[in-house]
């Protein structure tokens, strides 16, 4: 009996010394090929891979399995960022989907598969279940022929010639540091920025002694080296992408981490004020109040969805969406790309600095001056499985009258339990979907108030407050 394979919110992943094996990859590709060939016989599937050892081999193998179902498997001839795969799929009417072999932002001993729909976005829950339902316990031995092609170059050509203002950027003589965290945007982004006249210093662009120790996630503490390098080199900003470049992070010229929340807030202002764009701002429940304040101030209606970018993507498909973002680093701008695109965001941040003549730190400080100081935090509370399941069972009926000495003014059970308070501070508790963890988020005007909310949230999740 083969390993039971279940997709999480963003695909399937496993340890390379465990369940991520040739046999299991073949089982996944066989199921995908079976479903997609039935929906669009003879269609094109774009297949990509990241920079991790063995990823190209697995991508070619998956391509041959997909081709055995009569699909045209176009396998990248070089490592490819996931946004490039999404873009290629979305811009080819003959495509039925994309198949990316990547460890994404997970540790280097993991590999996985991300699937993209014909429109370039994350698959719906129903589409994922259709594939899961036909995963055979035994791997097929059927194989077909693959085509190797370059869809990385067209993607970057599109960004540099059709998205950002190349003239304004080139005149600004920007100097930035770029950290791909050894991922699949390495080399490509500095080359693209160079074509725009941006002097770019790249770190973690090739494997070295640090390679296996660095978690390729554009969050602290994994960006410590970037923060130090920015200060040492005197650049205007540090721009970061995760292992497959669908997520983004940043560091200002003082070495301060610029969270995704602040990046989203800056981009809302840039798109509305400098580009004249309009539309809704779609956020998930765990996104900072800062983004909501900026959106309201600029006349953008805010739509709140459950945690997970797939919910933001589905909302974006309804239209009239300016930007969608999540606290984990995913940001999408539907006018340019249907999915998260960390590379697009780095380019737009450069355009923002060029248009304003201001550094990233100055722009961030201006946000604080205009919209106030907030302190955001998250704790991942690992508990016994039965404790998590008990909390999950009790969640729909939880409605605490007081938390950390505060009285909630709004309660939401959309995704876990979210409590809002009169000063706009909030607390969110939600069980993870794939592991025995309760994620506790909080934001408040001060660090002390935030920590009090986080502690209370942890106590509620553990069942220690008797609520």
> Does 96 lie in the same domain as 161?
no
What b/e sequence results for 239-255 when a residue is b if at least 16 CB atoms lie within 10 Å of its CB, and e otherwise? bbbbbbbbbbbbbbbeb
Inside any domain, residue 400: yes
Give the residue-averaged pLDDT of 193-201: 98
pLDDT at 127 over 80: yes
CATH number of the structural domain spanning residue 67: 3.40.120.10
pLDDT at 164 over 90: yes
> For the segment 55-80, what is each residue's pLDDT rounded down to a tens digit?
999 999 999 999 999 999 999 999 99
Inside any domain, residue 130: yes
> For the segment 278-335, what is each residue's pLDDT rounded down to a tens digit?
999 999 999 999 999 999 999 999 999 998 888 999 999 999 999 999 988 899 999 9
| 248/256 Cα distance (integer angstroms) | 15
Residue 107 CB contacts under 8 Å (≥ 6 apart), including other chains:
215
Residue 157: how many other CB atoms lie within 10 Å: 12
Give the residue-averaged pLDDT of 113-127: 93
Per-residue pLDDT band at 465 (split at 50, 70, 90): low
pLDDT above 70 coverage of the chain, percent: 99
| 12/62 Cα distance (integer angstroms) | 14
Per-residue pLDDT band at 417 (split at 50, 70, 90): very high
Inside any domain, residue 466: no
> Does 261 lie in the same domain as 202?
yes
**Ramachandran angles phi, psi of 453, nearest 5°:** -65, -40
Place of tokens 């725009």: 196
Inside any domain, residue 307: yes
pLDDT at 433 over 80: no
> Does 385 lie in the same domain as 367?
no
| 46/53 Cα distance (integer angstroms) | 20
Inside any domain, residue 3: no
> Does 279 lie in the same domain as 181?
yes
Q: Which segment of 160-164, 437-441, 461-465 scores lowest on mean pLDDT?
A: 461-465
Residue 396 is part of which domain span?
Answer: 375-461
Q: What is the CA radius of gyration of the chain?
A: 22
> Does 213 lie in the same domain as 238?
yes
Out of 150, 167, 197, pick the residue that ends a domain. 150
Asked whether the whole model's pTM tops 0.85, one would answer yes
Strand partners, 146: 73
Give the residue-averaged pLDDT of 102-113: 95
**pLDDT on residue 466:** 54
pLDDT at 208 over 60: yes
| 378/403 Cα distance (integer angstroms) | 17
> Does 259 lie in the same domain as 315?
yes
Inside any domain, residue 266: yes
Inside any domain, residue 43: yes
């Amino acid at each position: 009996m083969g390993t039971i394979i279940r997709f999480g919110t963003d695909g399937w992943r496993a340890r390379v010394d465990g369940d991520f094996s040739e046999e299991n990859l073949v089982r996944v590709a066989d199921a995908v090929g079976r479903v997609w060939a039935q929906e669009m016989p003879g269609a094109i599937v774009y297949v990509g891979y990241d920079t991790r050892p063995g990823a190209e081999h697995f991508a070619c193998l998956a391509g041959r399995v997909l081709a055995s179902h009569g699909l045209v498997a176009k396998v990248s001839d070089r490592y490819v960022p996931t946004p490039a795969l999404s873009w290629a799929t979305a811009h080819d009417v003959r495509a039925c989907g994309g198949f990316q072999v990547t460890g994404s932002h997970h540790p280097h001993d993991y590999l996985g598969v991300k699937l993209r729909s014909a429109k370039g976005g994350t698959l719906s829950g129903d589409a994922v279940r259709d594939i899961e339902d036909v995963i055979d316990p035994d791997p097929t031995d059927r194989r077909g022929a693959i085509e190797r092609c370059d869809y990385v170059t067209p993607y970057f050509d599109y960004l540099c010639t059709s998205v950002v203002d190349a003239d304004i950027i080139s005149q600004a003589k920007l100097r930035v540091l770029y950290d791909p965290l050894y991922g699949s945007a390495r080399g490509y982004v500095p080359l693209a920025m160079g074509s725009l006249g941006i002097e770019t210093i790249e770190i973690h662009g090739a494997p070295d002694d640090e390679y296996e120790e660095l978690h390729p996630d554009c969050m602290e503490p994994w960006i410590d080296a970037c923060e130090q390098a920015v200060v040492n080199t005197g650049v205007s900003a540090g721009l970061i992408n995760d292992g497959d470049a669908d997520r983004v992070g940043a560091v200002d010229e003082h070495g301060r981490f610029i969270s995704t929340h602040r990046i989203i807030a800056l981009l809302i202002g840039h798109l509305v004020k400098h580009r004249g764009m309009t539309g809704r701002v779609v956020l998930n429940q765990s996104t900072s109040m800062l983004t909501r304040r900026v959106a309201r101030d600029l006349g953008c209606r805010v739509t709140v969805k459950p945690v997970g970018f797939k919910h933001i993507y589905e909302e974006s498909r309804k239209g009239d969406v300016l930007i969608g973002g999540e606290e984990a680093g995913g940001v999408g701008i539907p006018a340019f790309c249907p999915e998260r695109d960390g590379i697009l965001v780095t380019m737009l941040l450069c355009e923002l600095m060029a248009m304003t003549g201001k550094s990233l730190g100055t722009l961030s400080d201006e946000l604080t001056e205009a919209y106030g100081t907030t302190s955001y935090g998250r704790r991942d509370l690992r508990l016994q499985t039965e404790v998590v399941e008990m909390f999950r069972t009790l969640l729909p009926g939880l409605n605490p009258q007081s938390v950390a000495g505060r009285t909630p003014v709004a309660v939401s059970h959309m995704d876990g339990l979210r409590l809002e308070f009169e000063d706009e501070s909030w607390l969110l508790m939600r069980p993870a979907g794939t592991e025995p963890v309760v994620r506790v988020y909080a934001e408040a005007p001060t660090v002390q108030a935030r920590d009090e909310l986080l502690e209370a949230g942890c106590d509620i999740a553990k069942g220690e407050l008797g609520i």
